[in-house]
Amino acid sequence: MLSKEFTINSQYGFHLRPAQVMVEKMTPFESEVKMKKEDGTEADAKSLLGLMSLGLNDGQTVRIDINGNDELEAMEVVEELFRTNFGE
Amino acid sequence: MAEKIYQGIGVSDGIRSGIAFIYRREPEPDTNRTVSKEQTEAEAKRLDHAVEQAGQEIDRLIARASETLDSGDAAVIKGQKTFLADPAYCPEMKKLILGRQYSAEKAVREVTDRYAAVFEGMNNRYMQERATDVRDAGTRLLNYLSGVQSSGLSKIDHPVILIADDLSPSDTVQLNREMILAFATRQGGKTSHTSVFARSLGIPAVVGVPEIMEEVADGETLILDGNRGVCVASPEPETRKVYLAKMEEEHRKAELFGRFASRNAQTKDGARIIAAANIGSAADAEDSLKKGAEAVGLFRTEQVYLSTKSLPDENAQFEVYRKVAECFGSKEVIVRTLDVGGDKEIKYLGIEKETNPFLGYRAIRYCLDRKEIFLTQLRAILRASAFGRLAVMFPMISGMQELAAAKTMVEEAKEQLRGKGEPFDESIRIGMMVEIPSAALMASALAKEADFFSVGTNDLVQYTLAVDRGNEKVSYLYDYFDPAVIRLIRLTADAASSAGIPMGMCGAMAGDPLAVPLLVGLGLSELSMAAGSLAQTKYILSRLDTGSCRELAEKSDRCRNATEVRSLLQEYFETEIKEI
């Protein structure tokens, strides 16, 4: 399993569009991808509702856990998404 | 019926009078039913079928939306489609049907409510408003389950003022827009779908009017004032008269100016003046283009810094600048480097409180001291210059030394990019704001070192007249028509013209109809203003003759105070431009 921390950087928090991008990019991967908040609540990163239910605000830290055959590739994509701020 | 006045939030400008059309959603189906154990399989299939149909409908809506609306609206509807395909949405419903013998309706209701409640409970207005999207997806499923599909909105065939609890993307996409005079909704804020939708189409709208659904009747006469957020039901003849006059005035001006919005700004005798916009973000850029901007005379980059909690890195800045550059294509965008301090505070930059902040550590002074911050911004601007036509402008230049130092920094940033093989526009123009009297006085020397000038009237006035316009006790002295200010502008314009560099203005004065003839007469070649004033300014320019403007500028030089200047300009306006 791979695990890495990221910081949300969007004035509206992790809102609809970044969440949509996340779901879109993660769905093709076989691996299980979880996004975890600091308070322990977690969501399936392939579920828009799950991600949005986390209610992530600007500046919060999240942990991404990826578990599966293509976890390396999936983590690379996650890193790219956070680096480019989900195309904002 | 007696006149009733309602106060809401005006979210899209304009005044309309018309007949109210009250839109109520279909009565909700029974969402409390359970089914027998044997029926659960069939019930799950019924849900699958509704999901499939709803998905197809959304596809049709997306196709329609992408033809008529901008991509933002299509994206909102796409969001709904994603909800339908979400592993936490419909599969969750099926679990409830198969496991707890829920009817499909009850399952839809429960899961939808659960997620909508999560969004509504968030302390972020944007996310709260997304609850509408989830509810909308839920309602669509319920409609398919019960066989009710059309909502009555698509049947509107005469012009109405549409009143609703709230409107979702799937509501608005059904509308025949020709038939909608205005919107009034019980819920919503400035960023709700109805508001964004109304603004993008230029339909007046008032939201957040609590009583409107209950108290206004279908078919009742209504006046809606989107400028002030007011709705008047069954207006008295007196009220009607007042609003009618306002509407006529609005209509006349819109007609008059509207024809000029998309044209190039030009005087009667054919002199080209660039009508440019002041912007602060990529969204402003798009909006100003629609309103007729021929360039950007001032891109305030402070917003890029204000929207983050810590210093935005080079890439984050680059993305914003690139978007704006691409948006304007071959039209020039003047990017002003960070103008912080004074009354603009950015917490994380750690500028200490000063007793005299406007004369202190701010703008270019800060940037020349904090070289890393400045270089990061310059690199981001330079990299973005490869995607359009950007120019760099320094704020608060007080003299030659600062201009030279700032230009050296640009060279350093260029060198760093060359080292990394990053492309940028090698011939990018470097200009400065003239907003300090010392810069205006030394304009002839500065003009040899700068590629262009832009007068910032707001600061120039306060520094020239020693007036803090935020101080009510002295703000009466603040006036850009003061002859002292105009002389400084003239000095700057003359220096620019002898050196052969263009000169613009990006302060509030540039968008003032009264000032336009004077500025043309002084020889300015670009006027940069709030996008909303562009069409009007283009119209005024079209009525002007440069020779007569020059005479006007000469005359203004003999005025002894602001009152004299103002009356001179007023008189000129009334005789030369007449209708406005």
Extents of the domains making up chain B = 4-24+152-255, 37-146, 266-577
B301 has a pLDDT exceeding 80 = yes
B149 has a pLDDT exceeding 60 = no
pLDDT of residue B357: 85
Instruction: Name the range with the highest mean pLDDT among A47-51, B21-25, B433-437.
Output: B433-437
Mutate one of A10, A11, A20, A47 to test the B interface: name it (highest B CB count within 10 A). A47
Higher pLDDT, B532 or B569: B569
**Which pair of structure tokens corresponds to residue A48?**
């828009």
Q: How close does chain A come to B318, measured CA to CA in Å? A: 11
Furthest CA-CA distance within chain A: 34
Average pLDDT over every residue of B239-254: 90
pLDDT of residue B384: 97
pLDDT of residue B167: 84
Closest CA to B429 of B411, B445, B405, B452: B452
E-strand ranges in A1-88 read 2-7, 32-37, 42-44, 61-67
pLDDT of residue B15: 93
Considering chain B, what percentage of its residues have pLDDT values greater than 70? Answer: 93
pLDDT of residue B191: 63
Provide the ipTM. Answer: 0.70
Mutate one of A49, A51, A58, A81 to test the B interface: name it (highest B CB count within 10 A). A49
| Domain B4-24+152-255 = CATH 3.40.718.10 | no
Cα Rg of chain A (Å, integer): 11
pLDDT of residue B522: 97
Does residue B458 have a known ligand-binding role? yes
B578 has a pLDDT exceeding 80 = no
Identify the active-site residue in A7, A11, A14, A15: A15
Q: CATH code for B266-577?
A: 3.20.20.60
Does residue B402 have a known ligand-binding role? no
pLDDT tens-digit readout, B52-103: 988 888 887 777 766 655 555 666 677 778 788 888 899 889 999 999 999 9
- DSSP assignment string, B218-230: TT-EEEEETTTTE
pLDDT of residue A40: 87
Cβ-Cβ contacts under 8 Å for B442 (sequence gap 6 or more): B399, B400
pLDDT tens-digit readout, B327-379: 999 999 999 999 988 766 777 887 888 888 889 999 999 999 999 999 999 99
Higher pLDDT, B145 or B398: B398
pLDDT of residue A2: 92
Average pLDDT over every residue of B249-257: 85
Residue B122: list chain A partners with CB under 8 A.
Answer: 55
pLDDT tens-digit readout, B31-52: 888 889 888 999 999 999 899 9
Low pLDDT (below 70) residues in chain A: 11-13, 88
Average pLDDT over every residue of B487-494: 98
Q: How close does chain B come to A3, measured CA to CA in Å? A: 22
Look at domain B37-146 and name its CATH class.
mainly alpha
A15 touches chain B (CB under 8 A): yes
Mean pLDDT taken over chain B? 89
Q: Note whether B562 and B481 are within 8 A (CB).
A: yes
B433 has a pLDDT exceeding 70 = yes
Cβ-Cβ contacts under 8 Å for B549 (sequence gap 6 or more): B267, B517, B518, B520, B521
pLDDT of residue B84: 86
Domains (range + CATH), chain A: 2-87 (3.30.1340.10)
**Which pair of structure tokens corresponds to residue A26?**
């993660």
